[in-house]
Homo-oligomer: A and B are copies of this chain.
Amino acid sequence: MEPVMQTVRYLDDQGHTCQELPLWAHEMEPLLECYRWMLLTRQFDQKAIALQRTGQLGTYPSSLGQEAIAVTLGLAMEPDDVLVPYYRDHGTQLIRGCGMKDILLYWGGDERGSAAGPQQDFPVCVPIATQCGHAVGAAKALQLQGRSQAVACTLGDGASSKGDFLEALNLAGLWQLPVVFVLNNNQWAISVSRQKQCAASALALKGMGAGVRSVQVDGNDVIAMFDELTQALEAARAGQGPTLIEAISYRLSDHTTADDASRYCPQEELQQAWKKEPVARLKRFLTSQGAWTEALEQKWLEHCQHTVNSAVQHYLEYSPQLPEAMFDHLYEDWPTVMEDQLQAFAERRQRRLGE
Contact = CB atoms under 8 A, between A and B. Distances in A.
A28 interface: no
A209 B209 contact: yes
A212 B198 CA distance: 10
Interface in A290-347: none
Contact of A199 (B2, B166, B173): B173
A196 interface: yes
B209 A205 contact: yes
Interface string A163-197: 11011001001101000000000000000000011
A211 B194 CA distance: 13
Interface residues of A, number: 29
A227 B196 CA distance: 32
Contacts of A209: 166, 198, 200, 203, 205-209
A107 to B, nearest CB: 29
A209 B210 CA distance: 10
B2 A208 contact: yes
Contact of A198 (B174, B197, B206): B174
Contacts of A176: 199
A4 B47 CA distance: 50
Contact of A161 (B162, B164, B167, B212): B167
A196 B167 contact: no
Interface of A: 1-3, 161-164, 166-167, 170, 173-174, 176, 196-201, 203, 205-213
